[in-house]
Amino acid sequence: MGDFIVFLIFAALVYLLDKVDNKRKPVPKRQGKPKRQGGNRQQSVPPERTPQVQLPPPAPEPWPEQQRRTPDVLPQQPQVVWDIPAPIPPEEREVYREPGTVEQAAAEAVQEEMADEVRTAAYEAERAAEEEVIREQETVTYEEQAKLPGKVQAVPPLRLTPETALQAMALTAVLAPPVSRRPRLYRRRERM
């Protein structure tokens, strides 16, 4: 049923749009051949209907064969001169150093690296000790605030004796919900 209503609405819209769309300007009817009047077979075209059209200028002619370049004759390319500096000899490339200075610099770099490693290890050990002290203080503070006993003792297993059974019955009577809050069916069953 719903599809049928949608189809009817669609058909109505198409019909209305077709009616609205047909309100265009009327196109003048094409005039056919003039009717013959009597014996006058020659009819002249009125001068206002002949179009006065200016044609574009003619296309230029392609280059003549004599003016075309031949592949044998090419213009001369200028000579490119690169200004490349002369290579510098190895003695002049670096600053002169006395013999043994390179080895001494390498030994100093190795000593600095070892000193950095020792400093880093000492810092890490000091930081670990500080963190250990902080953790111990936090655990002591937590135990004080939570009031935890120092050691947790295991609870001995309960034994069922006549005294413990009486205690259990008394506790259930005290801790159970009152009789007025129990469901009605529960009370009816008790009476029966």
Q: Over 143-175, what HEC string results?
A: HHHHCCCCCCCCCCCCCCCHHHHHHHHHHHHHH
Which has the minimum average pLDDT: 18-32, 35-49, 53-67? Answer: 35-49
Residue 21: band (very low, low, confident or very high) from pLDDT cuts 50, 70, 90 = low
The residue with tokens 């490119």 is 80
Residue 107 belongs to what domain range? 99-147
Structural domain includes residue 71 = no
Overall domain count for the chain: 1
Structural domain includes residue 162 = no
pLDDT at 85: 80
**Per-residue buried b or exposed e for 63-102, using 16+ beta carbons within 10 Å of the residue's own CB:** eeeeeeeeeeeeeeeeeeeeeeeeeeeeeeeeeeeeeeee
The residue with tokens 């003695």 is 91
Torsion angle in degrees (nearest 10) through CA of 148, 150, 152, 156: -110
Q: How open is the CA angle 176-182-184, to the nearest 5 degrees?
A: 160
Q: What are 83-93's pLDDT values in tens digits?
A: 888 887 777 77
- For residues 20 and 8, what is the distance between their CA atoms, to the nearest angstrom? 18
Percent of the chain at pLDDT exceeding 70: 68
Q: Is the dihedral of CA 84, 85, 88, 93 positive or negative?
A: negative
Contact predicate 148/140, CB 8 Å? no
Q: Over 60: is that where the pLDDT of 47 sits? A: no
Structural domain includes residue 139 = yes
Structural domain includes residue 59 = no
Contact predicate 179/187, CB 8 Å? yes
pTM, to two decimals: 0.27
More confident of the two residues 84 and 23: 84
Structural domain includes residue 93 = no
Contact predicate 175/169, CB 8 Å? no
Structural domain includes residue 19 = no
pLDDT at 132: 95
- Average pLDDT value for residue range 176-184: 75
Contact predicate 43/34, CB 8 Å? yes
Structural domain includes residue 114 = yes
Which has the minimum average pLDDT: 51-55, 126-130, 141-145, 152-156? Answer: 152-156
Q: What are 133-152's pLDDT values in tens digits?
A: 999 999 888 888 887 666 66
Q: Over 60: is that where the pLDDT of 46 sits? A: no
